[in-house]
Amino acid sequence: MAYRETARMQQRKQATRDTIVVQALKLLDERGFAGIQMVVLAQRANLATGTLYRYFGSKEQLCETLFKQATQIEIQQVQEQLQHEQANASERIAAALTTFAKRALRAPTTAWALIAEPVEPIVVAARLKYRERYAQLFEQAIELGIADGSLPQQNSALASRALVGAIAEALIGPLAQQAQQNEQQSISDSVRFCLQAITARTW
């Protein structure tokens, strides 16, 4: 007769996994992917180091999970702004870019980790996948803008990918340190640059 876990056992295992992920996300916010050490994580989660490997076969698998979870949160934030009904497409794009910029500057270590930190191939693959998801969201928004007349005719696939690259590059690494000194101005400048690119007019 095959062994079957009880519902209580499944709940306990899920709770342990959730604890590991929560503590690992805190480490990510403090130190980036390079600073995630399994021994330190085990201490923070009050677990034996070996227990971590029962839930994640390697540090790379854990980092992939963290990347996906953290990035999905950011994508949801952008998506919510792009779905506002009481604004035209260009206004929704501006709101989404502003939200992205604000969150990046307020958590620069996490932003750097998600966008540009050198990582293992498994995380690079996830990064490319989710970057494409951002681009698809903005592409849809640009197409709606063309349809409602708030944006000029343009190559929406190319424009959306340029938009994602521009806002990301403006807010990570050394630039983030400078931007934090005058957060609101940095956000305004970055968003203005992106909007000028897709509207072909001065903002």
Which option is the CATH number for 1-57: 3.40.50.300, 1.10.10.60, 1.10.287.3510, 3.30.470.10? 1.10.10.60
Question: What does pTM read for this prediction?
Answer: 0.88
Instruction: For the chain, give every domain's residue range.
Output: 1-57, 60-199
pLDDT one-digit tens code per residue, 12-42: 999 999 999 999 999 999 999 999 999 999 9
60-199 belongs to which CATH class? mainly alpha
Q: How far apart are CA 95 and CA 77, in angstroms?
A: 10
Nearest to 33 by CA among 113, 95, 140: 113
Residue in the block written with tokens 């940095």: 186
Enumerate residues 6+ apart whose C-beta is below 8 A from 179. 105, 170, 171, 186, 187, 190
Query: pLDDT by residue (tens digit) across 152-168?
Result: 999 999 999 999 999 98
